[in-house]
Amino acid sequence: DILMTQSPSYLSASLGDTVTITCRASQSIAKYLNWYQQKPGKAPQLLIYAAFALESGVPSRFTGGESGTDFTLTISGLQPEDFATYYCQQTYGIPVTFGQGTRLDIK
Amino acid sequence: QVQLQESGPGLVKPSETLSLTCSVSGGSMRNYYWNWVRQPPGKGLEWIGYVYQSGSAKYNPSLKSRVSMSVDTSKKQVSLELSSLTAADTAVYYCARRREYFDSTLDAYDIWGRGTRVTVSS
């Protein structure tokens, strides 16, 4: 299985801050990397697909980056609705695997 | 706007078989892979598998011996069966559509149902 390791597991930040979440794959996954946001009691919502591409309707303050097997999700200018848990997902191999999640809380 | 709605029993007994249905509304099922993902209480996401409109399926090897998925395009439903249940199968079960991008070279789960909570307990 391809292991996806997210860091940090927990992040505390203030409104207006810029934060970056990292996801490292245990092997090359090309650009088969997606990011999701999940709020309590809700289903995950797609933010970024193919490492960089912004899903329709998602604010441009969300950006994806990639360097080899390291992938990043950056949120610029945190808004109240951004405080949630974020997951990365690889779809390069079977089984599809997710990172363990990064919980973003308001400071 | 495509919507997905999971349904099934909220409580099942250990050793029994869970049967869940995902109903698709507002769009076609054609040319999509339909996935099941689960989330135990307070934990992360686990991919269970997917089924294509043709009925071909891929499962998580960790669950493969206990999982079966099928699709009924006439009813616009996707089904999941998970056998030999234990408490470790207690989770919220989500149905999700896999969308393909860039000439089908990349994919992501663009539409999710609200999920259905399943508790395994005697």
Question: pLDDT tens, B5-64?
Answer: 999 999 999 999 999 999 999 999 988 999 999 999 999 999 999 999 888 999 999 999
Preferred mutation among A5, A23, A49, A71 to probe B, highest tally of B CBs within 10 A: A49
Q: Which of B3, B104, B107, B109 to mutate to test the interface with A (most CBs of A within 10 A)?
A: B109
pLDDT at B103 over 90: no
**Separation CA B94–CA A59 (nearest Å):** 25
pLDDT of amino acid A68: 95
Q: What confidence tens digit (pLDDT) does each residue in A74-99 have?
A: 999 999 999 999 999 999 999 999 99
**A82 φ/ψ angles, rounded to the nearest 5 degrees:** -85, -10
The C-alpha R_g of chain A, in whole angstroms, comes to: 13
Average pLDDT over residues A59-74: 98
List the one residue out of A69, A73, A70 whose CA is nearest residue A85: A73
The pLDDT of residue B16 is 98
**For residue B43, what are the contacts with CB-CB under 8 A and spacing of at least 6?**
none
Looking at the predicted structure, is the pLDDT value of residue A14 above 90? yes
B14-32 burial, b at 16+ Cβ within 10 Å, e below that, comes to: eeeebebbbebeeeebeeb
Q: What is the pLDDT of residue B105?
A: 82
Mean pLDDT, chain B, whole residue set: 96
Please indicate if any CB of chain A lies within 8 Å of the CB of B56: no
Under an 8 A CB cutoff, do B108 and A95 touch? no
Inter-chain CB proximity B46 and A98 less than 8 Å: yes
- The pLDDT, as a whole number, for residue B104 is 79
- Rounded alpha-carbon distances, angstroms, from residue A85 to B35, B58, B71: 21, 27, 31
Cα–Cα dist B30/B11, whole Å:
32
* Contact check, Cβ <8 Å, B47/A101: no
Smallest CA–CA distance, residue A107 to chain B, in Å, is 21
The two structure tokens encoding residue B90: 């207690």
Q: Which chain B residues have a beta carbon less than 8 Å from that of A96?
A: 35, 47, 60
